[in-house]
């Protein structure tokens, strides 16, 4: 893969992302959703984020991640549950993972 194809991909992705954001703003006044649809979309966002976190925590490529990473994600999740700032959540998760790996838990 050469540099030109990477830049083309970045530009196409940026344009598509911007088009989605603008269409949301422009169509919000024209399209009305029911209360059920709005609640379903709100829940879908949470489910999608949870799926990304779970996949990242459990797998490394095609292999299963070690227990240190999983426990680090759990530590960060506990901090997030108690509404800690994002910086604190990331530091606690990374620190817990690092300490577990340092102690021999891979």
pLDDT over 80 at 88, yes or no: yes
Q: What is the mean pLDDT of residues 25-50?
A: 89
Q: How far is CA 43 from CA 36, 54, 73, in A?
A: 11, 16, 21
pLDDT tens digit string along 10-35? 999 999 999 989 998 888 888 888 99
pLDDT tens digit string along 52-73? 888 988 998 889 999 999 999 9
Give residue 13's pLDDT.
94
Closest alpha carbon to 72 in 50, 61, 56, 85: 56
* CA-angle at 42, arms to 85 and 78, nearest 5°: 30
Q: Rounded distance, CA 74 to CA 14, Å?
A: 33
Q: How far is CA 78 from CA 23, 46, 95, in A?
A: 36, 16, 14
Give residue 51's pLDDT.
92
Please name the helix (run of DSSP H) or strand (run of DSSP E) that holds residue 60, with its range, or none: strand 59-60
Decide if 54 contacts 93 (C-beta within 8 A).
no
| Residue 19 burial (10 A CB sphere; 0-12, 13-18, 19+) | exposed
């Amino acid at each position: 893969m050469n540099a030109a194809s990477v830049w083309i991909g970045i530009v196409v992705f940026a344009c598509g992302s911007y088009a989605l954001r603008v269409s949301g703003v422009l169509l919000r006044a024209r399209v009305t959703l029911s209360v059920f649809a709005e609640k379903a979309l709100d829940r879908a966002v949470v489910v999608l984020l949870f799926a990304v976190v779970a996949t990242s925590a459990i797998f490394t490529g095609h292999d299963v991640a070690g227990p240190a990473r999983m426990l680090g994600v759990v530590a960060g999740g506990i901090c997030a549950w108690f509404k800690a700032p994002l910086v604190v959540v990331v530091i606690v998760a990374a620190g817990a993972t690092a300490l577990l790996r340092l102690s021999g838990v891979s």
